[in-house]
Amino acid sequence: MGKTPYNIWNVIKGGLTGQKNWTPAWRDPEPKASYDAIIVGGGGHGLTTAFYLAKNHGMTNIAVLEKGYLGSGNVGRNTTIVRSNYMHPENAHFYEHGLKLWENMSQELNYNVMFSQRAIINLCHSKAQYDAFARRGNAMRLNGIDAEILNAEEVRQRAPMLDFNPRARFPIFGGLMQARGGTARHDAVAWGYARGADSYGVDLIQNCEVTGFKIENGEIQGVETSRGYIGAKKVGIAVAGNTSKVCATAGLNNLPIESHKLQAMVSEPLKPLIDTVVTYGAGHFYVSQSDKGGLVFGGDLDGYNSYAARGNLPTIEHIITAGVAMMPCISRVRLLRHWAGIMDMSMDGSPIITKTDTKGLYLNAGWCYGGFKATPASGWCFAHTIANDAPHKYNEAFTLDRFAKGRVIDEKGAGPVPGAH
Amino acid sequence: MFKIECPWCGDRDMVEFTYGGDATKKHPDDMAAASLDEWNAYVYERDNPCGPHWEYWHHVNGCRQWLMVHRDTLTHEIYETAKPTAKDVKKPWTGKGDAS
């Protein structure tokens, strides 16, 4: 709605006219009495859903309700990795669709999300692990996704800072690379989709916590919020770690989800050291380097149910131990900051994008550690599901009843243990 | 970080323990006769509260006994711990210690 486009001409014009030519990226509207659709949760997935509801499905009388500020949850708390190196077809096609959206995102939004396809390399440390990776790579290729298996020398050419000493604790045997994987500027993703949704007339309402759902005769009527009642024909829930809490107020209890915290860390800024994304195959550690020079890395869950977005030191020690084993050159690098996000860990490691038993109520949850890369695909599919009251083929397997029906999508074969995936 | 009071060993650092999940879940008594819904409820469904939560921990780097912990998932405050023989832990259960 009349936004100044972000381009070189407006930068020059702004430079010559005191930067007075810019319009706000989004409005701060008062909530209306009712909407055609409401998205609960103004994070990456909620904003993306609103954007695609407006863009792909022409629904513009909609609102996003956010209890804090836009992008205040996991979309700004992750390690920014984007990839689609999944083996099971249900996941592979979904994430690959997402990766294609990533590749065009900056153009689609007129917002530089700094998407950098710097490749992701999963290290393997034994012949058996190499075989398993070759199998995954072959499955990816059969699904039309790029994958390359690398031997140790080929890994060394791409990431010479790793420990290639044969006397390393877990010597590097090879790796599986997805060259189209990479990283993106995570806040820009939230802001870009927010600006895009707002330009279609979507109301982005901040500081508006949903406290209850009005359901009559099995049909959604609206939501109770901290800023009063708002009517809605359709309501989509995309609240990540708070899914169980929010859904309980809609009578959706006992979801196959546990909330856990996952930590991420950033080191002090360094000269360019690592120009790809590397994941350790002998422990939980993954690392990339931001444009500011900080090493961005993370590891495993803290390991117990938690709604506290703060991490514990033993887990940090564990993660950094794995990191130093993989690249000993970082052993004296100082940690700048660390934080935790609340993950909605599903019981099979795969997400849920589905209708519910309540007419007009939709659920988007269960993103485990992987919600960030799914942001565009999640919103794209969720918007399709809400607009058509039926899932797209990319998300038709991500149902709630797959657990009861024995159709779990357990990528790792780890069983019903949240956090083992 | 927090400490956990092991019913056998006393106050110990959390790093000595590993987590065992929701302690209000109990597998069906008659496993052969249980319906798929009962199994689904036991294996997959979770209350996942934001607040007090009964859960199992394993004192794996200590006495290697299992124990139950009543912990707040938001503040990480531990209200009480109990031996796992304390039976039928449901949410309203406030009994202390070993019920056997």
Express each pLDDT in B30-84 by its tens digit: 888 999 999 999 999 999 999 999 999 999 999 999 999 999 999 999 999 999 8
Cβ separation A304–B19 shorter than 8 A: yes
Express each pLDDT in A13-51 by its tens digit: 999 999 999 999 999 999 999 999 999 999 999 999 999
Give how far Cα A187 sits from Cα of A127, A194, A209, A255, Å: 39, 11, 21, 29
Q: Where are the alpha helices (DSSP H) in A289-342?
A: 313-326
Q: Angle at CA A245, nearest 5°, toward A240 and A250?
A: 105
Chain B partners within 8 Å of A404 (Cβ)? 36-37, 40, 44
- Please, which residues bridge with residue B12 across strands? B4
Q: Which of A241, A238, A278 is nearest to A79 (CA)?
A: A278
Is B30 within 8 Å of chain A by CB?
no
Model ipTM value: 0.89
How many Cβ atoms are within 10 Å of A362's Cβ, its own excluded? 25
Distance CA A398, CA A272 (A): 40
Whether B86 has a pLDDT exceeding 90, the answer reads no
Nearest CA in chain A to B69: A304
Cβ separation A259–B73 shorter than 8 A: yes
How far A353 CA lies from chain B's nearest CA (Å)? 17
Whether B100 has a pLDDT exceeding 60, the answer reads no
Express each pLDDT in A220-257 by its tens digit: 999 999 999 999 999 999 999 999 999 999 999 999 99
Q: How many residues does chain A have?
A: 421
- Three-class SS state of A214: strand
Q: Which two tokens stand for residue A196?
A: 């895009």
Q: How many CB pairs under 8 A join A and B?
A: 68
Cβ separation B45–A255 shorter than 8 A: yes
Could you report how far apart the first and last alpha carbons of chain A are, in Å? 43
* pLDDT value of residue A310: 85
Would you say the C-alpha torsion A195, A197, A199, A202 has a positive or negative sign?
negative
Give the closest of A244, A256, A312 to B44, CB-based.
Answer: A256
Whether B90 has a pLDDT exceeding 70, the answer reads no
Residue with tokens 């298996």: A149
Cβ separation B22–A303 shorter than 8 A: no
Nearest CA in chain A to B73: A306
Question: What is the phi/psi pair of residue A64, to 5°?
Answer: -110, 125
- A251 within 8 A of A218, measured Cβ to Cβ: no
Residues near A114 by beta carbon (within 8 Å), at least 6 away in sequence: A106, A184, A185, A188, A291
- A290 within 8 A of A277, measured Cβ to Cβ: no
* pLDDT value of residue A320: 95
How many Cβ atoms are within 10 Å of B64's Cβ, its own excluded? 9
Nearest CA in chain A to B72: A306
Q: Which two tokens stand for residue B90?
A: 């449901």
Whether B99 has a pLDDT exceeding 50, the answer reads no
Q: Which of A344, A346, A342, A343 is nearest to A415 (CA)?
A: A346
- All domains of chain A in start order, with CATH: 28-111+186-256+348-388 (3.50.50.60), 120-180+258-344 (3.30.9.10)
Q: How many residues does chain B have?
A: 100
Distance CA A87, CA A82 (A): 16
Beta pairing, strands A228-237 & A34-40: parallel
A322: number of CA atoms within 13 Å, CB side?
Answer: 20
Cβ separation A307–B50 shorter than 8 A: yes
Is A288 within 8 Å of chain B by CB?
no
Distance CA A367, CA A286 (A): 18
Residue with tokens 């607009």: A387
Q: Which of A49, A44, A175, A74 is nearest to A120 (CA)?
A: A175
Whether B93 has a pLDDT exceeding 60, the answer reads no
Q: What is the CATH number of domain B3-82?
A: 3.30.2270.10
Whether B98 has a pLDDT exceeding 60, the answer reads no
Is B60 within 8 Å of chain A by CB?
no
Per domain, the residue ranges of chain B are 3-82
How far B41 CA lies from chain A's nearest CA (Å)? 8
How far A250 CA lies from chain B's nearest CA (Å)? 14
Cβ separation A305–B76 shorter than 8 A: no
**Per residue of chain A (421 residues), what is the pLDDT tens digit?**
579 999 999 999 999 999 999 999 999 999 999 999 999 999 999 999 999 999 999 999 999 999 999 999 999 999 999 999 999 999 999 999 999 999 999 999 999 999 999 999 999 999 999 999 999 999 999 999 999 999 999 999 999 999 999 999 999 999 999 999 999 999 999 999 999 999 999 999 999 999 999 999 999 999 999 999 999 999 999 999 999 999 999 999 999 999 999 999 999 999 999 999 999 999 999 999 999 999 999 999 999 999 998 888 999 999 999 999 999 999 999 999 999 999 999 999 999 999 999 999 999 999 999 999 999 999 999 999 999 999 999 999 999 999 999 999 998 888 888 877 7
